[in-house]
């Protein structure tokens, strides 16, 4: 019962603090640590000692799996060289550097424990970095590298820690152990991917699929550890591949359920982790102060180690960039990342709960173990606060651009259009046998879905037709739901039937392509980034032309109709309204003149559209 009360208290505190942080726009990881530190000194709160088994077998597999499911395998592969240099090379570099420093400050400690604490504090935790990075809008390439690094660096650190504890600090043996552990982890991860993927092809029940999803990370981790392979790598490999193949392995309902389930699990576990870090503060500090080492020496050791892990990371990322990686242009923006990206990547090296959990793996008989635990706590808390609090300031100071909502809206509309073209081609074949004449209804729905995506690209302040439709339909669904609930209260209809109808309304409401916050972000950003490539019509260099009716559709004015967004013909400068507008004058102009390309005439937008090849550029 005592354990149950503790768990309920932790979850309650996590939800309350996260809710307040969301309301007041505060970084919840840092606030949770502060709350934990304060709570550790409250008399009625019990001492919390985070057992390594709880973290390594209870928390680490689901956290890694949840992160792997959300990580793009394509982006991971595109940045694999940077990820491997950080997850393997940087961990080894940090382990060696910190080990030499600690041994110099505590000569009687021995080389094994010195390198052990180096391995403990070597792997950064992407939970903190990416949660703060997404909140402040770090470039996606940096977030991808941080996520990829965190998926693999724990494996390197745990192998190095296991070897150091065995007092076998021989570098070629560590390398051999890592290769064997990594190879075994990859093999077992692949095996779980094939087995789970095969089972999923025959599972259509979202509940059973969710149960299988919950089982996978723990089973893959335990199976790998049983044969002394890397459980971390096996979970990561299985998660990356299953996430990549989920569109063809799972049903739509299963994917929605899995996505929401793992988001909830990751939120609770990640937030609880930061609270638990703080709750251990009093115990760790008290044990270290009572140790044989003088307080001054302890403070010097902790401070210098904190500085060392920060400096070693920055030094490594710059050496790797200019000597080994030499990064090419970004796959999306086609721009080579500047040195500011490298500095930001080097500064985002916050440590997390794995560091503290791994520290408790150090045997109790190790000399100065309490001091080593305080070193791990200092590095964890120090990097979270020092780097976590200054990361937003540094990003603004370096003027590192955030992901552009306007460019995302344009890419989304273009991608959805390409998908629609494929579906309409399939519909052309199906319409050969259409006894009920449903083809035109489907075409209308597909067109309206595309219109909604293109309307979101526009920078106009007025509500678009799709936004109006979404708002009205939500009000109608609210009325429908209210009436269904009234009927339910009478008991005249079986609850299974009522649940089915309510679920139908929920699905339809979730499909409404209307988000006020997303629209506001796009409108405030504009769409200044064009998509690369395109057809010969888009690539053709044309003499600039002046618009014939700047800021308005002359055809709409003459006919007394309204327009949604404006387009301009790049051949003659004619201004016309988009296809979301009632009269679709841009398409009409193309049909009459056969001029192939129109460009957006909205403020801050420079993208173009080819009517002939139906491509954006």
350-394 pLDDT tens trace = 887 778 778 888 888 888 888 888 998 899 889 988 988 888 888
pLDDT tens digit sequence for 228-248: 888 889 999 999 999 988 888
Q: What pLDDT does 454 receive? A: 76
Token couple for 51: 């057992």
> Is 508:586 a contact under the CB 8 Å cutoff?
no
- Classify burial at 233, counting beta carbons within 10 Å of its beta carbon; exposed 0-12, middle 13-18, buried 19 or more: buried
The per-residue pLDDT for range 392-418, each reduced to its tens digit, is: 888 888 888 777 667 777 777 777 777
DSSP structural state of residue 544: -
Q: Give the length of the chain.
A: 617
Is 225 in contact with 276 (CB distance < 8 Å)?
Answer: no
Helix/strand/coil for 137: coil
CA dist., res. 468 & res. 18, Å (int): 33
What is the pLDDT at residue 261? 92
Residue 423 has pLDDT above 70, yes or no: yes
Sequence-ordered list of residues with C-beta below 8 angstroms from that of 539, at least 6 positions apart, any chain = 617
Give SS3 for 459. Answer: coil
Task: Name the pTM for this structure.
Answer: 0.81
Least Cα distance to 309 among 550, 549, 98, 70 occurs for 98
What average pLDDT does range 324-343 have in this prediction? 70
pLDDT at 472: 86
DSSP 402: P
- Closest alpha carbon to 580 in 472, 468, 454, 461: 454
Average pLDDT over residues 511-533: 57
CB 579 within 8 A of CB 454: yes
Secondary structure (3-state) at 512: coil
- The whole-angstrom distance between residue 382's C-alpha and the CA centroid of its chain comes to 24
The three-point CA angle 344-531-547 to 5° equals 120
Cα–Cα distances in angstroms (integers) from residue 124 to residues 139, 164, 384, in the given order: 19, 19, 10
DSSP E strands in 539-614: the ranges are 566-569, 575-577, 597-600, 608-610
Segment 503-508 long-range contacts (CB within 8 Å, at least 24 positions apart):
505/477, 505/480, 505/481, 508/473, 508/477
- What pLDDT sits at residue 402? 73
H helix intervals, 137-280: 140-165, 171-200, 206-226, 231-249, 252-279
- Computed on alpha carbons and rounded to an integer, the radius of gyration of the chain in Å comes to 28
Q: Calculate the alpha carbon distances from 69 to 64, 66, 104, 242 in Å.
A: 9, 5, 42, 7
d(CA 514, CA 271): 30
pLDDT at 514 over 70: no
pLDDT of amino acid 72: 83
The Cα 357–Cα 61 span in angstroms is 14
Is it the case that residue 82 has pLDDT exceeding 70? yes
Q: Distance between CA 60 and CA 217 in Å, rounded?
A: 9
pLDDT number for residue 109: 84
User: Does residue 220 register a pLDDT over 90?
Assistant: yes
Mean pLDDT across 14-22: 90
CA distance 344 to 398: 9
Q: How far apart are CA 10 and CA 273, in angstroms?
A: 10
210-228 mean pLDDT: 93
CB distance 586 to 576 below 8 Å: yes
In the predicted structure, residue 268 carries a pLDDT above the cut 80: yes
pLDDT tens by residue, 269-303: 888 888 888 888 888 888 877 767 788 888 999 99
142 in Cβ contact with 344 (< 8 Å): yes
Which is nearest to 459 in space by CA: 511, 416, 407?
A: 407
**What band does 569 get if pLDDT is binned at 50, 70 and 90?**
very high
For the ranges 56-65, 432-441, 513-522, the maximum mean pLDDT occurs at 56-65
Selection from 154, 151, 172 nearest residue 163 by Cα: 172
Quick one: which H or E segment has residue 375?
A: helix 369-397
> Do 119 and 383 contact (CB within 8 A), yes or no?
no
For the beta carbon of residue 502, count every other beta carbon within 10 angstroms: 15
The two structure tokens encoding residue 357: 């959990």
- The residue-averaged pLDDT of 416-435 equals 78
Angle at which helices 2-24 and 252-279 cross, to 10°: 100
Alpha-carbon distance values, 250 to 70, 73, 119, 260, 557 (Å) = 15, 17, 39, 15, 50
Choice among 171-175, 504-508, 600-604 with the minimum mean pLDDT: 171-175
Instruction: For residue 34, give every residue at least 6 positions away whose Cβ sits within 8 Å of its Cβ, in sequence order, or none.
Output: 278
pLDDT at position 151: 82
Q: If we measure between CA atoms, which residue out of 81, 90, 192 comes closest to residue 141?
A: 81
Residue 481 clears pLDDT 80, i.e. is over it: yes
Is it the case that residue 313 has pLDDT exceeding 90? yes
pLDDT at 174: 66
Backbone angles phi, psi at 349, to 5 degrees: -115, 45
**Collapsing DSSP states into helix, strand and coil, what is residue 616?**
strand
Contact 583, 592 (CB under 8 A): no
In angstroms, how far is the first alpha carbon of the chain from the final one?
63
Element (H, E) at 297: helix 295-319
pLDDT higher than threshold 80 for residue 486: yes
Mean pLDDT of the chain: 83
98 against 295, higher pLDDT: 98
Helix axes 126-136, 28-40, angle to 10 degrees: 130
Q: What percentage of residues in the chain have a pLDDT greater than 70?
A: 88
DSSP secondary structure code for residue 530 in this structure: P
CA 296, distance to chain mean position in Å, is 42
pLDDT of residue 162: 79
């Amino acid at each position: 019962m005592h354990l149950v009360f503790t768990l309920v208290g932790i979850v309650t505190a996590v939800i309350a603090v996260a809710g307040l942080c969301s309301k007041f726009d505060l970084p919840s990881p840092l606030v949770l640590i502060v709350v934990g530190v304060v709570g550790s000194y409250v008399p009625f709160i019990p001492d919390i000692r985070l057992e390594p088994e709880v973290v390594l077998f209870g928390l680490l597999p689901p956290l890694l799996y949840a992160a792997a499911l959300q990580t793009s395998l394509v982006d991971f592969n595109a940045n694999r060289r940077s990820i491997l240099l950080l997850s393997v090379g940087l961990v080894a570099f940090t382990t060696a550097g910190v080990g030499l420093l600690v041994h110099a400050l505590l000569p009687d400690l021995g080389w094994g424990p010195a390198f052990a604490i180096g391995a403990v504090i070597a792997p950064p935790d992407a939970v903190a970095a990416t949660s703060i990075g997404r909140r402040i809008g770090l470039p996606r390439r940096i977030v991808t590298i941080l996520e990829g690094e965190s998926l693999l660096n724990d494996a390197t650190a745990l192998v190095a820690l296991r070897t150091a504890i065995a007092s076998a600090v021989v570098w070629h043996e560590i390398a051999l152990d890592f290769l064997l552990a990594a190879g075994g982890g990859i093999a077992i991860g692949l095996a779980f991917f094939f087995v789970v993927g095969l089972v999923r092809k025959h599972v259509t029940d979202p509940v059973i699929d969710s149960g299988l999803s919950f089982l996978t990370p723990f089973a893959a981790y335990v199976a790998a550890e049983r044969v002394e392979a890397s459980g971390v790598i096996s979970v990561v490999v299985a998660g990356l591949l299953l996430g990549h193949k989920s569109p063809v392995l799972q049903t739509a309902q299963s994917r929605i359920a899995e996505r929401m389930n793992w988001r909830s699990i990751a939120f609770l576990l990640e937030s609880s982790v930061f609270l638990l870090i703080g709750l251990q503060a009093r115990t760790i500090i008290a044990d270290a102060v009572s140790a044989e080492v003088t307080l001054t020496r302890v403070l010097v050791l902790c401070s210098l180690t904190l500085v060392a892990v920060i400096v070693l990371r920055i030094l490594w990322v710059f050496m790797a960039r200019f000597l080994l990686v030499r990064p090419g242009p970004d796959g999306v923006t086609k721009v080579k990342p500047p040195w500011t990206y490298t500095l930001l990547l080097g500064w985002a090296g916050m440590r997390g709960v794995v560091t503290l959990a791994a520290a408790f793996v150090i045997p109790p008989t190790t000399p100065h173990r309490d001091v080593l635990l305080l070193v791990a706590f200092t590095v964890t808390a120090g990097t979270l606060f020092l780097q976590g609090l200054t990361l937003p300031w540094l990003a603004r100071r370096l003027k590192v651009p955030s992901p552009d909502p306007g460019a995302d809206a344009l890419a989304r509309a273009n991608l959805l259009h390409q998908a629609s073209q494929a579906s309409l081609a399939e519909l052309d074949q199906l319409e050969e046998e259409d006894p009920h004449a449903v083809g035109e209804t489907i075409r209308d729905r597909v067109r309206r879905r595309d219109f909604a995506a293109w309307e979101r690209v526009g920078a106009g302040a007025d509500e678009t037709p799709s936004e109006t439709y979404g708002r009205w339909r939500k009000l109608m669904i609210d009325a429908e739901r209210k009436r269904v609930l009234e009927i339910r209260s009478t008991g005249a209809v079986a609850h299974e039937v009522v649940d089915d109808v309510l679920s139908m309304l929920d699905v339809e409401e979730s499909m409404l392509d209307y988000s006020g916050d997303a629209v506001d972000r796009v409108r405030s950003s504009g769409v200044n980034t064009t998509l690369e490539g395109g057809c010969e019509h888009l690539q053709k260099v044309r003499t600039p032309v002046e618009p014939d009716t700047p800021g308005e559709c002359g055809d709409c004015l003459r006919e007394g109709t309204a327009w949604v967004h404006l387009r301009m013909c790049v051949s003659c400068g004619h201004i016309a309204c988009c296809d979301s507008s009632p009269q679709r004058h841009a398409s009409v102009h193309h049909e009459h003149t056969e001029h192939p390309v129109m460009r957006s005439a909205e403020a801050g937008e420079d993208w173009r559209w080819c009517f002939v090849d139906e491509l954006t550029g």
